């Protein structure tokens, strides 16, 4: 994956100053900077070991050794006064992460860094996929496998590097996260740290080609919300709720084709054919069959309440697309 890409470890202030010089005045569209962070229990509860920075114009990966440099990694300036902190906190310099929350949490808790100018690829992917049929966000590994456009050979190599790295630091494989604090860094750890961040520009291009302006604005607002939440005292970096979609109620998705109105049927006419059943063990939740595709649909409330909302008529999928041959696609406005 990174055979043709230079990788440089930044572990002293002189090399850091040289890096900061090279990052000045870079293009912003597409973004020049793609970042990831490795550490031990990366969060306010753990530590930061390495920040991976892929500089797209140079096709170069920099591994900023926070374990060695500590505060100087962020506050040691170059001759013009630029620091890595000033880059991270600049709203004018776009920086791309995949799920920025724990990265932001760790940076804020340990170094008082408030990220700005962030683009979150996890949210971009969700906003450009069939998210209205999903309740959870995807992880980076799945996005790389499905969307990065890697050849079979490149994907095999990526998976191999991933597996070797996990065996070194994963306790479940007999490894230890302390490998991120061992110096010099093992080559296998260098490879592991470098390969994911190189894929981020590929994902950015794929998702930005699909998204429209309205949803890009929603993604940006939610990204800023993620940063703010990660800095709050109530943020739980290990919560299972982090896997949930932030947009459970939006319908339809970005750039989706509007449902074709073949025959708009008044809700009461369809409602008469709905047979509600109690969900076993939960009398407050009703179960019925979608009037178009016959798949099972669930909803909380009485039959009267469900019919009043008219969500009982068809499932979400059938409101958006013609699911069944010969069956009408209903006007969404009739039901919502």
Residues 239 and 271 in one domain: no
Which residues touch 265 (CB under 8 Å, ≥6 apart)? Answer: 328, 330, 334
Q: 262 in a domain, yes or no?
A: no
Q: 248 in a domain, yes or no?
A: no
* Residue 238: per-residue pLDDT: 94
Task: Choose the weakest-confidence range: 1-10, 35-44, 47-56, 63-72.
Answer: 1-10
Of 126, 88, 90, 87, nearest in space to 106 by CA: 88
Please write the tens of the pLDDT for every residue from 131-168. 566 789 999 999 999 999 999 999 999 999 999 999 99
* Residue 247: per-residue pLDDT: 86
Cβ(247)–Cβ(214) below 8 Å: no
Residues 183 and 274 in one domain: no
Residues 158 and 291 in one domain: no
**What band does 292 get if pLDDT is binned at 50, 70 and 90?**
low
pLDDT above 80 (res 326): no
Of 140, 187, 159, nearest in space to 1 by CA: 159
Residue 98 belongs to what domain range? Answer: 6-243
Which residues touch 81 (CB under 8 Å, ≥6 apart)? Answer: none
Residues 87 and 136 in one domain: yes
% of the chain beyond a pLDDT of 90: 69
Residues 190 and 277 in one domain: no
Count of CB atoms within 10 A of residue 55's CB?
18
Residues 40 and 143 in one domain: yes
* Residue 135: per-residue pLDDT: 83
Please write the tens of the pLDDT for every residue from 218-276. 999 999 999 999 999 999 999 999 999 998 766 444 444 444 333 333 444 444 456 66
* Residue 7: per-residue pLDDT: 98
**What band does 200 get if pLDDT is binned at 50, 70 and 90?**
very high
Residues 230 and 135 in one domain: yes
Which residues touch 304 (CB under 8 Å, ≥6 apart)? Answer: none
The enclosing domain of 172 has a CATH number of 3.30.420.10
């Amino acid at each position: 994956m990174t055979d043709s890409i230079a990788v440089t470890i930044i572990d002293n202030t002189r090399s850091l100053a040289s890096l900061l010089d090279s990052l000045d005045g870079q293009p912003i569209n597409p973004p020049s900077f793609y970042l990831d962070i490795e550490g031990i229990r990366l969060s306010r509860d753990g530590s930061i070991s390495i920040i991976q920075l892929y500089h797209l114009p140079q096709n170069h990966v920099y591994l900023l050794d926070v374990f060695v440099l500590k505060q100087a990694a962020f506050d040691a300036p170059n001759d013009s006064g630029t620091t890595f902190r000033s880059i991270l906190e600049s709203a004018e310099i776009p920086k791309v992460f995949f799920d920025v929350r724990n990265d932001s949490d760790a940076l804020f808790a340990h170094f008082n860094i408030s990220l700005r100018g962030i683009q979150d690829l996890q949210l971009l992917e969700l906003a450009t996929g069939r998210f209205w049929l999903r309740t959870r966000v995807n992880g980076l590994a799945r996005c790389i496998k499905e969307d990065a456009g890697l050849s079979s050979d490149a994907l095999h190599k990526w998976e191999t590097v991933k597996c070797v790295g996990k065996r070194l630091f994963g306790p479940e494989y007999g490894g230890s996260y302390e490998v991120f604090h061992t110096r010099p860094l093992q080559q296998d750890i260098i490879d592991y740290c470098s390969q994911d961040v190189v894929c981020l520009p590929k994902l950015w291009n794929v998702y930005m080609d699909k998204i429209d302006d309205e949803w890009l604005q929603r993604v940006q607002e939610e990204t800023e919300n993620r940063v703010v939440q990660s800095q709050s005292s109530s943020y739980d970096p290990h919560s299972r709720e982090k896997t949930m979609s932030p947009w459970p109620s939006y319908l339809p998705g970005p750039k989706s084709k509007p449902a074709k109105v073949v025959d708009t049927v008044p809700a009461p006419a369809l409602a008469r054919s709905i047979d509600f059943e109690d969900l076993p063990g939960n009398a407050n939740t009703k179960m019925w069959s979608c009037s178009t595709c016959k798949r099972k649909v669930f909803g909380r409330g009485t039959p009267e309440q469900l019919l009043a909302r008219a969500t009982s008529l068809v499932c979400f999928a059938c409101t958006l697309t013609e699911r069944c041959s010969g069956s009408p696609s209903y006007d969404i406005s009739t039901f919502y």
